[in-house]
Copies of this chain bind each other. A is one copy, B any other.
């Protein structure tokens, strides 16, 4: 880690400590806890985000996020938990066409980079690819819930808890968690499995998320939960 990054991390830790004092005194940062029937929701762990060379490429993918998600997938598959693989792409990436399904988002970020016709770009990373029966959800906006059938689908399946991984902390992961809570699910942010592409973004956003929207929980603890929750349902 660079000196600048170390310095930033130190300052952020100080800021978080001060904030925690205020939050604790006022009743924020409560624990929502695991529920009785979890689903794993992997957000935008598709090639345009997990592989180098794309505007959306993120950090910490190979050494941290992919291995963590592999552990989670293994636990889900061993125990029959629902898995949703979320990705993003567009049928019409012409920024001059007002009829593009990018809506207004291309006026802020380079969503034209994921054309539906280029299937490799938005395919789920092969190291954590869906197996038979796991759902692939295509979304158009940041949140995996907004403008999708995800909430109704999860409720139909009796899900009450979502373990969220993916990228980015700043956008799609945070929006998914915020909506997941509002839609009536207990959101768990899997600490090591959430990434971004700018310094401090994961730290800051996970701090905000943990204070107000979801429990940020280490991957090992999530894996334990996935391996044991089945019994509670019996």
Residues A55 and B27 in contact in the complex (CB < 8 Å), given A103-B156, A152-B183: yes
Q: Which of A19, A94, A198 has the most CB of B within 10 A?
A: A198
Interface pair A110/B27, CB less than 8 Å apart: yes
Q: Would you call A27 and B109 a contact (CB within 8 A)?
A: yes
- Whether the pair B4, A14 counts as a contact (CB closer than 8 A) is yes
Residues 86-110 of A, flagged 1 when their CB comes within 8 A of B and 0 if not, give: 0000011010011101011111111
Q: Which of A20-70 contact B (CB under 8 A)?
A: 22-23, 26-33, 55-56
Question: Which residue in chain B gives the minimum CB-CB distance to A110?
Answer: B27
Tell me the A187-216 residues at the B interface (CB within 8 Å).
197-201, 204-205, 208, 211-214
Partner-binding segment picked from A121-129, A132-140, A221-229: A132-140
The size of the chain A interface, using a CB distance under 8 A, is 83
Q: With an 8 A cutoff between CB atoms, is A115 at the interface? A: no
Q: Looking at the complex, which one of B30, B99, B143 makes contact with A82 (CB distance below 8 Å)? A: B99
Q: Whose C-beta in chain B lies nearest to the C-beta of A169? A: B208
Q: When the two chains form their complex, are residues A181 and B136 in contact, meaning their CB atoms are under 8 A apart?
A: no
Closest Cβ–Cβ distance, residue A29 to chain B (whole Å) = 8
Q: Which residues of A contact B (CB under 8 A)?
A: 4, 7-8, 11-12, 14-15, 18-19, 22-23, 26-33, 55-56, 82, 91-92, 94, 97-99, 101, 103-110, 113, 133, 135-136, 139-143, 146-158, 160, 170-171, 175, 178-179, 181-186, 197-201, 204-205, 208, 211-214
